[in-house]
Amino acid sequence: MKKIKILITAPLYHIKDQKKLLLKNFKCTFVDHNNHRLINDLLKKQDGWICSPSPKKKISEINYPNIKFLNFISTPSTGTTHISDELKYRPNLKILSLSMTKKINSIKASSEYTFSIGLALIKKIVPAIKHVHNGHWRDVEEKLRSEEIDKKVIGIIGFGRIGKNLSKYSKIFGMENIIYDPNIQLNGYNRIENLNKIKLKSDIIFVCANFTKKNINFIDKNFFSKLKKKPYFINTSRGELVEENALLYALKKKKIKGAAIDVIKGEQNLNLKKNKLVLYSKKNENLLITPHIAGLTPQSEAKAMNISIELIKKYFKK
């Protein structure tokens, strides 16, 4: 049987077993995801493309005209915001993502990171480290005094894989869960269908909802203005869910005690020197920003690539 020809721009240097598995199953061409001109030239002769889950250029026909020759694009990620919408509705092009299988539940890195960055924010770990680097010790205690999370109320917006894991982690720490997800049935959980209850009761809010066209700027100024307890706010889902000016408003007006985010809107066209959130974070310690690294572990990336390989093989069996 003729091997499927695949262009691979997803990084593999840290998961060598998966590279061997790809070579065993497919005819592979490996290219750095920043070599845009070469990628476009090579697409003419490929059946499919395993793309980087975080490319510098959006995967679109404008940036890569030769996408028209492909049968599929596979991304080793759940999110597909790095792939343009027009490609997702093209009848002769299949978009394969990790969200298409329940095996995604075996991947824990993003959940662990989401909980960890929340702890880092609440415990003021980053400011404390900077404090020592600047030659200080216990001389400014008030700036570094944090809070206990025991008995705190955690509001979880979106109860998929990451939301469920956050619920487990938080209960171990003695926290109470309230959950908002109108799209699924929750048995045995404290389901809150009214988002206003999340706003009124939460000490900490985690946003871990899937990105859709319906929830763009779902977290807006109106959301932040109705928060009662001045919670901590954590978002590791997608930047498009949170209106950036509204988040700045909440931080400046102390509607929230602080925020930690691993995502920013429009990451394929991101100008870090001009982004309002990045500029604010440089001068204020109540906003932590990391560069979309929640899922970056060799273990989770190996699992993601294994799932991608399975999905491609399944797709070509049809």
Known catalytic residues are 238, 267, 292
d(CA 14, CA 25): 19
CB-CB contact of 61 with 75 (8 Å)? no
d(CA 134, CA 142): 16
Rg value, the chain, Cα: 21
d(CA 215, CA 280): 25
| CA 165 to the chain's CA centroid | 15
CB-CB contact of 268 with 57 (8 Å)? yes
d(CA 234, CA 318): 41
Helix (H, G, I), strand (E, B) or coil at 195: helix
In terms of phi and psi (left: phi > 0; alpha: psi -120 to 50; beta: otherwise), the region of 151 is left
CB-CB contact of 290 with 262 (8 Å)? yes
> Token pair 């026909």 is at which residue?
61
- Tell me how long the chain is: 318
d(CA 294, CA 287): 17
Structure tokens at 77: 């990620």
Q: Quick one: which of 4, 24, 22, 27 has its CA closest to 12?
A: 22
